[in-house]
Amino acid sequence: MDAVPESYVSCLVERWGAISEPVERAFRTVRRHRFVDGWYHLEATNLRVAFHPVDYDPDHPAPEQLDEIYSDVALITAFDDFLPTSSTSQPTLVVRMLELLELRPEMRVLEIGTGTGYNAALLAEIVGPEGAVHTVEIQEEVARKASQHLQGEGYTDVRVFHRDGYLGVPDAAPFDRIVATVGCSSLSSHWVEQLAPGGWMLVPLRHGLRDPLVRIERRVDRPECASGRIVGWSTFMPIYGTLRSANSWPSFAIRSLPKHATWTRRLPSPLSSESARTGHPLEHPIHRAIHFFLTLSSRELWPDARGYGLVDPGSRSVLVVTQDAVEGFSATDDVASLERLYDRFHRLVETWDQCGQPAPEDFSIEFVPFGHFEFIESEPEMEWIIERHDFHEIIHLPAKRDRPE
């Protein structure tokens, strides 16, 4: 197979909408099937997780394999024990991030998380021969294969580094753009230092159970600090290396939770509209907004395949918000604890409603290094502080009149 199928690009255009000419040209040029040596199908049950390898020959791909490669799916390409560690990302997510980067020819780009090298090749196509792409991968074998893929497809100027992405590539700085293709539990001070004046980075920065895409710029007046705003949503594998254990939201394991809810309560009124009761809850803007508000107000969050929720580890009680209701689960049949969790959730929703139902994009974010903390001059309606690895992340909710349109 010599060319990218027209159906692949057509599918991306149909699902994403209008794609800029440089991004569309890159997708028409870079052959995704040459950037995988094989992948794994994930089988998850209540008892185990298994990865089944696909027997794949890039030189002689089967038609059904090409159909899968050139579809809008992520492909798992490496795993460790029971967790995926590398993949080629979902193409529509790649489109979204490339568009948000607003790349131009001659730009210098740093990528954190090389994966198969496919995204680095797309970046190289867009910035052109006068630009530069540097990509960092912590897994040695993944970096080696990505380098082979890039070399084999003619992207000999893309530099692949096997190192902790936290460090960036100081010798090649400054960069006009920095993009992370892993879920980051924190922001690296090295990335801020390596940004060129007027440049910015795009980071899937973990907030609770999700990785909102945050556009971050270095401040001109205080270059050790940065400012950011949420511009989109993503789901990525977590970063490895220095930042791996820096997640501000702990994981909880509650044994002996019942399979069926102890009780069920109605959704609070902002969530009970018919428009909010279709699909997965976090696919709907109202749920996504409330979930983000929860991440700012609580560290005791509960992940669930059907939605999101709160956990009281002391009483071993869990609250799950689904598309239809709020369900309570208690390992000890502690109904009183579930009622307290529900009251807490209801109060937070009421506070969010009273603030004008802010969307995640309405919040502004400041990153201030430890030892440089100062209160900002503005008077936000509400403010939260999250301690990251290198920074205080200060999240402000401006007064409603000052929020972006």
Residues annotated as catalytic (active site), given as ranges: 89
Q: Quick one: which of 76, 77, 72 has its CA closest to 90?
A: 72
- Between the CA of residue 142 and those of 109, 115, 218, 306, what are the distances in Å? 20, 6, 31, 33
Per the structure block, which two tokens stand in for 318?
Answer: 């869990």
Q: Which long-range contacts (CB under 8 A, 24 or more apart) does 63-72 make?
A: 65/33, 66/1, 66/5, 66/33, 69/32, 69/33, 69/36, 70/4, 70/5, 70/7, 70/8, 70/32, 70/33, 71/8, 71/11, 72/11, 72/12, 72/15
Q: What phi and psi values does residue 387 have, to the nearest 5 degrees?
A: -85, 115
Greatest CA separation for the chain: 65
Peptide bond into 174 cis (omega under 30): yes
Tell me the C-alpha distance between 381 and 349, whole Å: 16
Contact in structure between 179 and 205 (CB atoms under 8 Å)? no
SS3 state of residue 90: coil
Q: What secondary structure letter does DSSP report for 377?
A: S
Helix ranges (H only) for 102-172 are 118-127, 140-152
Tell me the C-alpha distance between 193 and 321, whole Å: 40
Tell me the C-alpha distance between 112 and 120, whole Å: 10
